[in-house]
A and B are shown apart, each in its own frame.
Chain A
Amino acid sequence: MRSERYIPYLLVLPSVIFLLFLFAWPLVEALLLSIRGSEGWTLEHFQRMAADLYFKDAVKYTVLLAVVVVPLQVILALCMAMLLGGISKGRDLFLYVWTIPLGISDLAAGIAWLAIFTERGYLNSFLQALGLIQEPRLWLSYETPAMLFLAVVAAEVWRATAIVLVILVAGLQLIPKEYNEAAEVFGATPWRRFWKVTLPLLMPSLQVALILRTILALEVFAVVVALGGRNLPVLAGEAYFWYNAYQNPGVAAAYSVLILGISVLATLLYLRLMRPRQEVAA
């Protein structure tokens, strides 16, 4: 038989070339953009970024959003995944409905929740019906950052819990039934079985879900813009404004490098904190 060793390389090559040009190269380019000025190397873009009025709030809200949204999504998705195990009829229907947001864009999610939180929206109508307010109240202005933050959290949890759910359900399917059955034979309560058997075995999936969701949460953009414009500044939004409105690719690149830096830090943190324990493997 002729040598066919070259075939896999031939098949992989186009995608490698593509990723080099549209992934590796821009990555390097972004780093260069952020540290190169009109005359040689410089930190001026980072200094300008840090001195900007919106910078502190952008860092604060982006990190705070990730810290609030991601755990909420994981807990909610975990509850959903466990619920699926307890439902016999209509399991597929629930799974379908719960995963609908997978296909919904962040912009559309932001607009959907705008319909709820806007001045003459459903939340105010509901509060009025309860007799709590007489006139529409503003929730999404810069004077109500807490409520605006809450609206973004709601929209993000609504939109992106489904991704976590799918990863966790796929992970649950990989756990052999025998483990839970054995624990049941030994008289472990469902609650104990969840903590002592299911959860430790689900760790790899949880790790993937946490890392993926955190990286995506740090990029939050369209949801925030749709709900509050720039009233709630976030890092990706600032990168966008500096590029589009201020025509300054250097500072925009500095913001994108900062997002990358925080993402890498978060990923390393997860990998360290969630190292597989010995007794689990044993």
Chain B
Amino acid sequence: MSTRTIYLALAVLLALWVVVPIFLIATLAFSDRASVFAWPKGILPQHFSLETISFFFGVAGVGKAIGNSLIVAGLTLLFAVLLGAPAGYALARYRFAGADAYRILILLTRAFPLAILAIPLAVRFINLGLYDTPLGVALVHTALALPFAVLVTSSLFLGIPRELEEAAWTLGCNRIQAFLKVVLPLALPGLAATAIFAFVISWNEVFAATLLTLRERTLPAFLLTALNDSPLPFRFAGGFFLIVPALVFIFVIRRYLFTLWGIANR
């Protein structure tokens, strides 16, 4: 057997390691109740059925939790891009005193455990009226997504030649026009990737969301708090529903993957 074949076999094996658990939970989510509790189970789906999924959506609170998750993730996306992109642009285009200190501040934020932010904020948000609101959760999620937004947009703007912008200035655009007409269209796909990334960070986050809400649960918070006293079909359907956006997300941003995470090298 050639080395190449061995490599390929190993790669397939590793791909299976990733895919099989997703396949299994998808199988359970699309089975009927009896198959979920069946013993012993076969690897392949037995009876395709929407019973488990529809049971999940029928549980009181699930719809609201999904709605809250979408609102929180939407707000996070908005805040992260609006706060992060200007900073990223500044880092890419200007040399200014404090730029390095700012970079370090941004990197530091990734080095702190979430618990240390979430607990005092939960206490403080009660006084501020932000406790148990989608806005409050979105603010904490923005703190998580902002460092990525800054670093990614900064490398994004670095990749757009400065000369294009300068040409626009000489042709009579002011700075804002030049940005809107020349830079923004070129940056749009990368900005979209940043936004999606912020959305997924928020969609997936469970610790802060659980601490900061009581009634206005996001989906992960709702699932987590319901976990111990909910039947298995509910958990599997919920887990599957959490995974679906992730699959779409990685597919959409796959071109930017290394800018998003590889950035940690610089």
Contacts and interface: CB of A to CB of B under 8 A. Distances in A.
A73 interface: no
Residue of B122, B150, B246 ringed by the most chain A CB atoms within 10 A: B246
A136 B120 CA distance: 44
A235 B114 CA distance: 12
Contacts of A19: 105-106, 109, 143, 146
A246 interface: no
Interface residues of chain B: helix, strand, loop or mixed (majority): helix
Interface string A155-197: 0001000010011011101100000000000000000000000
B257 A240 contact: no
Contacts, number: 291
Interface string A222-258: 1001100100000110011001100001001101110
Contacts of A98: 14-15, 18
Interface stretch (B3-11, B58-66, B160-168, B187-195): B3-11
B94 A7 contact: yes
Contact of B43 (A122, A205, A244): A122
Contacts of B55: none
B115 A204 contact: no
Nearest to B264: A208
B40 A129 contact: yes
Interface stretch (A53-61, A139-147, A213-221, A274-282): A213-221
Nearest to B238: A111
B24 A22 contact: no
Interface residues of A, number: 95
Interface in B91-147: 91, 93-94, 96, 98-99, 102, 105-106, 109-124, 139-140, 142-143, 146
A158 B261 CA distance: 18
A116 B28 CA distance: 11
Residue of B91, B119, B146 ringed by the most chain A CB atoms within 10 A: B119
Given A107-B220, A158-B18, A122 B122 contact: no
Interface in A7-33: 7-9, 11-12, 14-16, 18-19, 22-23, 26-27, 29-30, 33
A84 B15 CA distance: 12
